[in-house]
Amino acid sequence: MTTSTTENTAPVVLEVDGLKTYFETRWGTVKAVDGVSFNLRRGETLGIVGESGSGKSVTMLSLMRLIPEPPGRIVDGQILLEGQDLVQMNDKEMSEIRGSQIALIIQDPMTSLNPVFSIGNQVGEAIKIHQDIPKRTVVQQVLNVLRKVNIPAAETRVRDYPHQMSGGMRQRVVGAIGISCEPIVLIADEPTTSLDVTIQAQYLKLLKELQEASNIGLIFITHDFGIVAKMCDRVAVMYAGRIVEMGDVRDIFNHPSHPYTEALLASVPKLEEDVDRLYSIEGQPPTLHDLPTGCPFAPRCQYVMDKCLETYPLQFDVTDSHYAACWRLE
Amino acid sequence: MQRYLLRRILLAMVTLLAVSLIIFVMSRAAGDPRHVYLDDYSTQEDWDRLTATLGLDKPYYQQYGIFLGSALRGDFGQSIKEGRPSMEVIVERIPATLQLGLAAFAFSVIVGVPLGILSAVKRGSFLDMAGKVVALVGQSAPVFWLGLMLVFLFAVRWNDWFGDSLVPPYGRQEISSIILPAVTLGWFYAAANLRLLRSAMLNVLDSEYVKLARAKGVSNNIVIWKHSLRNALIPVLTFAGITLGSLVTGSLVVETVFAWPGLGQLAIQALAGNDYPLLQAVVIVFTLMYVAAALSVDIMYAYIDPRIRYS
């Protein structure tokens, strides 16, 4: 874990303000992301955690402007990447930014590579799109980037097809595609869920090294607090489409201030404790097309008060760099 | 790649050999050809002479050897009805059948593939609806009815509007004669291509690798025509193997409806006239064309999908 004191002075590269992404469905409007704001500094790693359906993946897709429209739509908010608002951009401008300035590493290495094109072709494609350079230079850059992600014998591996590679290797290729154009912001959407733990550790280490080498702002989407502790400087906890708590990793781990964060941390099994039953949060996440008026976590919360059922809680500062949306902090 | 090809070619040869054996056995089982050649007034000497000419006095394995040997030389014996070598009769008919089959295949691809892609990409649009109608008609209308309806509409009913019949209703005299039979024959396959490609495209467009391609900054057109289509074509190609095979071997129904002088018609004539040598030859030629079509699709397959090339 890096200390956040030196990071805080780095320039902000990504500023998300009041982002709302809704989906029109048969059952009504699903507010998948409902007013999310955060910023990201150069070289910083921000973790976004939450259950399935909390809106973390839709947030990520919104940042890439890859929400399928219709049924989805970014209805409000700003996504400022080095000052330019991605929400206002047209398709053409956006495809120039995608992959070159803001890049994505998808979660499943087994399905995220196209089976009919060679590795070299798929890594080179991003480079070819975003940089106007001769073919030989592209080949050279592909080899460089494959070496960067520690793919052995890159010269021969470029001609391989995805089915000839192992899961760990494929994930590295996906990572190589992510960093191939030296993006400012890299979004990693649960990049290690389908890898076994040793490969996972290797890959995370590699990702961290790559980030430090090029000073990339990294957004790490996961539901694994172990990974958050290892990788992130700051963490945002999402619930029902909003950020309910955000702060430095240590603050969150030591003083979780939102009952949901507390419950999430309590459900991480600890090696040193001998328990018969694993802790789990009672109840189900709310359905996003029919949210209660008050705090969406209230029905599952052990500290629930009358006020919680009536009005959505405001954000209260715990410290300068740590806030939570919970009436208990009032 | 070479090993893959070699294995495909060997398999094709095995298929041909197996079919030749089946034909041989079936033709022996179908009845005694001597009864076709001879009548009640023939003598025992005629019978014996014919037995010797046809080689029926030899043991079966030897008969098969002779059959196979002459088949390899293209000799399938004299057509009973035409009184000339069966192969000669067939060769005359091949161009017509190939022409019709390829035209129908082209129609099925030209209509089915773009409509399939577009109805997936613009799902729920007017185009998608139009595609559904094309597919519904193609897959549910019986070929003989479709053929007659097309003749009725384009060569009879609407003649007043156009001054004359738009296209010839039957025969093979003019170039435009091919239009109606090709559409009739190809429509079913166009519909099948459309539906196969539409569902394959929908699957592929929803895949993680398409998401990643978009995340790389690949433009929408290239995502569709390069990344998605090549994957979605795999099931279509599998089907095309069967399609092409059955199209180039002619259609019994369509050739009959449109009086198209092809192999399908010939097969029916041979069957109706108990013309065994001719029928055998037709079946062998059908098999040959079918196998050739399947082989060419297998080669295409390997070209498109590396997983096949390397396994």
Q: What tens digit of pLDDT does each residue of B167-194 get?
A: 777 777 777 778 888 888 899 999 999 9
> How confident is the model at residue A6, as a pLDDT?
45
**Who contacts A239 (Cβ-Cβ below 8 Å, separation ≥6)?**
A50, A51, A54, A260, A285, A296, A297
CA A33 to chain CA centroid, Å, is 14
A199 within some domain = yes
Q: What tens digit of pLDDT does each residue of B262-306 get?
A: 888 888 888 887 787 888 888 888 888 888 888 888 888 888 888
| Chain A residues lying within 8 Å of B207, measured CB to CB | 111
Do B35 and B157 belong to one domain?
no
Do B65 and B126 belong to one domain?
no
B222 within some domain = yes
CATH number where B141 lies:
1.10.3720.10
Which residue has tokens 């939570």?
A324
Do B181 and B65 belong to one domain?
no
Do A81 and A201 belong to one domain?
yes
Q: With contact defined as beta carbons under 8 Å apart, do B190 and B111 qualify?
A: yes
Q: What is d(CA B104, CA B187) in angstroms, rounded to the nearest whole number? A: 8
A115 within some domain = yes
Residues of A with CB under 8 A from a CB of B: 64, 66, 91-92, 95-100, 103-104, 106-108, 111-118, 125-126, 129-130, 161, 163-164, 174, 177
CA A304 to chain CA centroid, Å, is 29
Do A44 and A125 belong to one domain?
no
* The last residue of a domain, from among A246, A263, A285: A285
- Measure B310 CA to nearest chain A CA, in Å: 9
B88 within some domain = no
Do A34 and A147 belong to one domain?
no
Do A236 and A196 belong to one domain?
yes
For A54, A294, A296, A305, A323, the CA distances from A243, given in Å and listed in that order, are 9, 15, 12, 20, 10
* The last residue of a domain, from among B10, B37, B72: B72
pLDDT higher at B104 or A277:
B104
Q: What tens digit of pLDDT does each residue of A226-281 get?
A: 888 888 899 999 988 889 899 998 888 888 888 888 888 887 777 677 767 777 77
**Who contacts A275 (Cβ-Cβ below 8 Å, separation ≥6)?**
A269
The runs of H, that is alpha helices, within B159-215 are: 159-162, 179-205, 208-215
Do A54 and A42 belong to one domain?
yes
Which of A254-268, B64-78, B167-181, B212-226 is least confident?
B167-181
Q: What is d(CA A78, CA B205) in angstroms, rounded to the nearest whole number? A: 28
Do A84 and A203 belong to one domain?
yes
B84 within some domain = no
Q: What tens digit of pLDDT does each residue of A182-225 get?
A: 888 999 887 666 677 777 787 888 888 888 888 889 998 888 88
Domain ranges, residue A144: 110-182
Domain ranges, residue B12: 2-72
Domain count, chain B: 2
Kindly indicate the confidence band of residue A7, based on its pLDDT and cuts at 50, 70 and 90.
Answer: very low
Query: Which is it for strands A84-85 and A45-49: parallel, antiparallel or unpaired?
Result: unpaired
pLDDT at B37 over 90: no
Do B97 and B62 belong to one domain?
no
B83 within some domain = no
* The last residue of a domain, from among A182, A213, A240: A182
Kindly indicate the confidence band of residue B197, based on its pLDDT and cuts at 50, 70 and 90.
Answer: very high
Give the predicted TM-score (pTM) of the model. Answer: 0.77
For A1, A47, B26, the CA distances from B34, given in Å and listed in that order, are 95, 88, 16
A258 within some domain = yes
Q: Which of B207, B214, B230 sits opposite A111 (nearest CB)?
A: B207
Do B280 and B158 belong to one domain?
yes
> How confident is the model at residue A46, as a pLDDT?
92
Do A246 and A225 belong to one domain?
yes
| Region A320-324 average pLDDT | 85
> How confident is the model at residue B81, as a pLDDT?
79
Do B108 and B236 belong to one domain?
yes
Dihedral of CA atoms B205, B207, B212, B217 in degrees, nearest 10, equals 0
A92 within some domain = yes
* The last residue of a domain, from among B72, B103, B125: B72
A240 within some domain = yes
B80 within some domain = no
Nearest Cα neighbor of A144 from A134, A133, A154 is A154
Q: Which residues of A79-105 are buried (b: 16+ CB within 10 A; e: fewer)?
A: bbbeeeebbebeeeebbebbbbbbbbb
- Measure A251 CA to nearest chain B CA, in Å: 33
B168 within some domain = yes
| Chain A residues lying within 8 Å of B305, measured CB to CB | 115-116
Do B145 and B183 belong to one domain?
yes
Do A190 and A276 belong to one domain?
yes
A24 within some domain = yes
Tokens representing residue B202 in the block? 């929908």
- Measure B155 CA to nearest chain A CA, in Å: 45
Q: Determine, for residues A98 and B211 on separate chains, whether the beta-carbon distance falls below 8 Å.
A: no
> How confident is the model at residue A193, as a pLDDT?
67
Do B40 and B105 belong to one domain?
no
pLDDT at A166 over 90: no
Do A69 and A144 belong to one domain?
no
Q: With contact defined as beta carbons under 8 Å apart, do A217 and A185 qualify?
A: yes
A–B interface: beta-carbon pairs under 8 A: 78
Average pLDDT, rounded, for chain A: 84
Q: What tens digit of pLDDT does each residue of B132-157 get?
A: 998 998 888 888 888 888 888 877 77
B85 within some domain = no
Kindly indicate the confidence band of residue B199, based on its pLDDT and cuts at 50, 70 and 90.
Answer: very high
Do B37 and B152 belong to one domain?
no
Q: What tens digit of pLDDT does each residue of A60-108 get?
A: 889 988 888 778 888 888 898 888 888 888 888 888 888 888 998 887 7
DSSP class per residue in B43-95: -HHHHHHHHHHHTTTS-HHHHHHHHHHHHHTT---B-TTT-SBHHHHHHHHHH
Do A229 and A279 belong to one domain?
yes
> How confident is the model at residue A32, as a pLDDT?
87
A88 within some domain = yes
B81 within some domain = no
Tokens representing residue B38 in the block? 């001879």
Do B101 and B236 belong to one domain?
yes
- Measure A61 CA to nearest chain B CA, in Å: 9
Q: Determine, for residues A114 and B209 on separate chains, whether the beta-carbon distance falls below 8 Å.
A: yes
Q: In what order do the strands lie in the sheet with A72-81?
A: A28-41, A12-25, A72-81, A84-85
> How confident is the model at residue A235, as a pLDDT?
92
Do A279 and A191 belong to one domain?
yes
Do A94 and A236 belong to one domain?
yes
pLDDT higher at B246 or A59:
A59
| Backbone φ, ψ for residue A82 (5° rounding) | 45, 45
What is the percent of chain B where pLDDT is above 90?
13
Domain count, chain A: 2
A311 within some domain = no
Do B29 and B153 belong to one domain?
no
